[in-house]
Chain A
Amino acid sequence: MVPVTTQVPELSGDELRRLYRLLTAVRQLDLAAVAWQRQGIIPGYAPELGQEAAQVGSAFAMDTSRDFIFPTYREMGTALTLGVDMVQYMATHQASWHGGLYDPVTTRLAPIQAVVGGSVLHAVGWAHGQRLAAQADATQADATAETAPPDGAPATATPSDGEPDAAPAAGLPAALTYFGDGASSQGDVHEAMNFAAVLKAPVVFFVQNNGWAISLPTEAQVAGGRVAARAAGYGMKSLTVDGNDVTAVVRATREALAHARAGHGPVLIEAMTYRRGPHSTSDDPGRYRTLDEERRDAGADPVALLAEQLLASGHADSDFLDAAQADALAAADTVRDGVQALRPRPGSEMFEFVFAESTQQLTDQASAWRKESEHD
């Protein structure tokens, strides 16, 4: 499979080495998390074996000083690439707190959530907000240049005639939203694509087509065979990329981001990959596919593929690969220690975060809980 990237430069040796370290770290942590579930350290986990390159590559292309990423529940590789604290991320799988304990505002990673397609619309709203903010800034700058605005005048956006205004030189902040071939059959995903295309919102729709929606294969999930083909119906640019090849994913995402930042609207990337393991630690793939089918369909292993590329190009040697592996193992152990040290959140937090402005009813219920549960 050939990526549709032609204008984006090849990756440097330094970038390739960093990507390898990330891929290895994700692979090890993913394998470790499955083991932790078997050992009773965490109650459940959604493995991503085989999707490392799709997640690491796409997240690697983002500018987390201004972009925002909208994940599902299977984006550990994305989170790790963004620099999210992995203990705080794993806290959701450890059952400490829905959505994890990390701060989505500072990490630029929205909370993990399980309604597939639910967060795809949020990306469109967030991205549209960036366009509005940029236009308001531009309007304010113009007004300041021409005449000083009256004191306290609100920054209002200029009425739009429906055509995108010129984006600032640096381009717009962009949203990246993940979903799978299964979620592509959700109505929210179609509404999101239509809204984004109508509004020319700077959003990149990143489909990890891993071949399976739990037990249902893509051909039974996606009419027409490809999610990327749907982009044409929305007048949207699309790219299909080998999701096992991290360099192809980085370049495709960079190309898509450049398009979105320039104010040309959304882009759909379909990364063809394969969910090598089960859907979750409760799943039994043996009920719906054979080992022979897995071997036949899985394609190249993303980590092994980059190792071959590094060795062949001379950007790294086997010592580098060994060191990356050792570091990844050590990092996974550190995360395990952190996860094991997590204690249940104080019960009072149940009540604290329901509203930004709480209610008397919740205050009363918290008081009753404290009294009746002897938490005073």
Chain B
Amino acid sequence: MQAALIRALTEIMEQNPRALILGEDVGRLGGVFRITDGLQQRFGADRVLDTPLAESGILGMSVGLAMAGFHPIPEVQFDGFAYPAVNQIVTQLARMNYRSRGTLPMPVTLRVPSFGGIRAPEHHGESLEALFAHVPGLKVVSPSNPHEAYHLLKYAAARPDPVIFMEPKSRYWQKGEVLPADGGSPLGSKVVRSGKHVTLIAWGAMVARCLQVAELAAEDGIEVEVLDLRWLKPIDAAGLAASVARTRRAVVVHEAPLTSGLGAEVAALVTERCFGTLRAPVERVTGFDVPYPSGDLEDEYIPNIDRILFGIQRVLEYRRG
């Protein structure tokens, strides 16, 4: 995925002279995850800008650069360090197009290495999708593999609106092909495995885990459909409904805490559209309502194969009381 992201950024910078990368250590170091590796040598220190260590500054400056006609691609090093920038993201970046009645659009793509799974210190693994998806004016997307990372980043960076691009850091070193675009809606979800008994709905790193679960379930004769949601705002409600209408059962899987997480939104959308055909309530398999735990407890927190299988079992065995 790292190589796919570098390739996407390189092409974006080549094709759009107004595109700028800025953030802490993105230049000479190539980013702490090396996602901007080699780009400063190629495009110069003005277009790949090492900024002072200040996330609000990086995002506030991106707003001003966008007002000057540039297409900033800021990076915050880790999800937990997006919090210091939340004021600029929520009160400024997300609202400038609205406040200015469309005269100051904000073509800003914020790259955020996201989620857990790498046993990192506190604040180096968080799941911010519900926070950002709740803010009017922001769009949120998360790729699940190198192919998606390449195409979704290129698409996001060509948008005239702010997009929060949540890169699953546990998948950075995953190998995989980048195929040509498949012609589907770039804003849609994707069925990445077909099945008829239950739909697993996931994004980011959880897509791969759900695919593992589907393999295991198949050994017991349970055919699991896996839906990669991709866009967390706007959510592809039609795609969700189409899959669940076929399987009649749904389990949504995410790393973020349960309460007020995106799983609740997904469950509501599925219920609105598929109430008559659902055989069981939509299940959620998620992180817990606890601060993101330290590395030793991470495996207990992130939905694992067993917990997802239990979720599937609950929807399969549900009987109307």
* Chain A residues within CB distance 8 Å of chain B: 68, 97-99, 101, 103-105, 110-111, 113, 115, 118-130, 132-133, 135-136, 154-162, 175, 187-188, 191-192, 194-195, 198, 349, 352-357, 359-361
Contacts and interface: CB of A to CB of B under 8 A. Distances in A.
Interface of B: 14-17, 20, 43-47, 51-52, 54, 56-57, 59-70, 72, 87-88, 91-92, 95-105, 107, 136-137, 139, 159-161, 234-235, 237
29 contacts: A97-B101, A113-B99, A115-B87, A115-B91, A119-B92, A121-B60, A121-B64, A125-B66, A126-B68, A127-B64, A132-B20, A132-B46, A132-B70, A133-B68, A136-B17, A159-B43, A175-B64, A187-B56, A188-B60, A192-B57, A192-B60, A195-B52, A195-B61, A353-B100, A356-B102, A357-B159, A360-B234, A360-B237, A361-B237
A104 B100 CA distance: 7
Given A125-B65, A195-B54, A359-B234, A99 B100 contact: yes
B97 A356 contact: yes
Given A159-B46, A191-B54, A353 B101 contact: yes
A36 B80 CA distance: 46
Given A115-B92, A121-B63, A135-B46, A191 B57 contact: yes
Contact of B137 (A105, A126, A198, A355): A355
Which of B17, B98, B160 is the most central at the interface, judged by chain A CB atoms within 10 Å of its CB? B98
Given A154-B17, A356-B105, A111 B96 contact: yes
Contacts of B57: 121, 124, 188, 191-192, 194-195
A157 B44 contact: yes
Contacts of B91: 113, 115, 118
Given A187-B56, A194-B52, A195-B51, 9 more contacts: A110-B100, A115-B87, A120-B60, A122-B61, A136-B17, A188-B56, A355-B97, A356-B107, A360-B237
Contacts of B51: 195
A122 B60 CA distance: 5
Contacts of A353: 97-98, 100-102
B56 A128 contact: no
A160 B92 contact: no
| Residue with the greatest number of chain B CB neighbours at <10 A, chosen from A104, A119, A127, A355 | A355
CB-CB nearest 3 A-B residue pairs: A125-B64, A121-B60, A159-B44
A80 B100 CA distance: 18
Nearest to B236: A360
A247 B231 CA distance: 55
A354 B47 CA distance: 28
A110 B103 CA distance: 10
B52 A162 contact: no
A354 B100 CA distance: 10
Contacts of A159: 43-46
Contact of A123 (B64, B99, B137, B160): B64
Contacts of A98: 95, 98-99
A111 B70 contact: no
B44 A191 contact: no
